[in-house]
Structure 1
Amino acid sequence: MTIATLFRDFLTDRERAPTDRELADLGLSRADFTRLITSKNGTRERMETLAARFGVTPAMIDADFGLALELAETCGHCKCANACQNAIELGVDFDTNRCPNASIYADMSPT
């Protein structure tokens, strides 16, 4: 289950923000929650696309909830997110040197 799926399921049909206790049950702080819900659209797609360039799969990202959260927060607020998203949509390569998660993906790389 991806972080996005977890939140979508958790927040479906809610008329209020989650309580601190509910967030704690999810392993999130209020700050983490705020960063995630204010992330730019396409965060997960960007994460998976850039990770794949290093041989990292979605399952590898999701294997460590804390790491997945860190990657999502960084990607969701990245200054290069628009350029990255445009590259994905146009089907062209995006310079991984511009990705703040690239070093983590490189460390995760199975090769």
Structure 2
Amino acid sequence: MLERVRAIFDQWHRLQEVRQMSDRDLEDLGLTRWQMEQFARMPENVGERLLQMAQVFGLEPNEVQHAYSDYLELLDVCAHCGSLKACKRALADAEHLGPEDVHFCPNAPTYEEMARHSAH
């Protein structure tokens, strides 16, 4: 329970920081205020989970994060995924996973495409 309360306060503080950002700050980041607020509301482990899943497809973090707008889209899809339990179960045994084992992941087609391009 205490962890949940702390998470709520952490999120509130992140949202306050976003609200204090100037339009120039947001422009420099290439994000709208709405996008920043969405990212501030994301659970902190979304980015970590996304990169772990990408590794199942043979992708390194720098490959996934290289195309900034694509990375932001991957984060958004991951944050709103309806397969969180399946994802957590699968990633708990990630070293034995292959792309065929994570068909539930809504980002799987994007990871497959990225892996095809990185192989060339």
Q: Cα distance, 1:27 vs. partner?
A: 0.4
* Corresponding residue of 1:3: none
% identical equivalent positions: 32
Q: Is 1:31–2:28 an aligned residue pair?
A: no
Contact 2:90 2:102 in 1 (8 A): no
Q: Is 1:72–2:75 an aligned residue pair?
A: yes
**Richer in helix (by share):** 2
Unpaired runs of 5+ residues, structure 1, are: 1-10
Runs of 4+ in 1 over 6 A off after TM superposition: none
CA distance in 1, matches of 2:85, 2:27: 31
After TM superposition, the score normalised by the length of structure 2 is 0.68
* Corresponding residue of 1:91: 93
- Aligned partner of 1:61 among 47, 51, 64: 64
Q: Cα distance, 1:24 vs. partner?
A: 1.3
Unpaired runs of 5+ residues, structure 2, are: 1-13
One-letter amino acid matched to 1:79: G
- Count of aligned positions: 98
Larger of the two Rg values belongs to structure: 2
Q: Which structure carries more relative contact order (alpha carbon 8 Å, separation 6+)?
A: 1
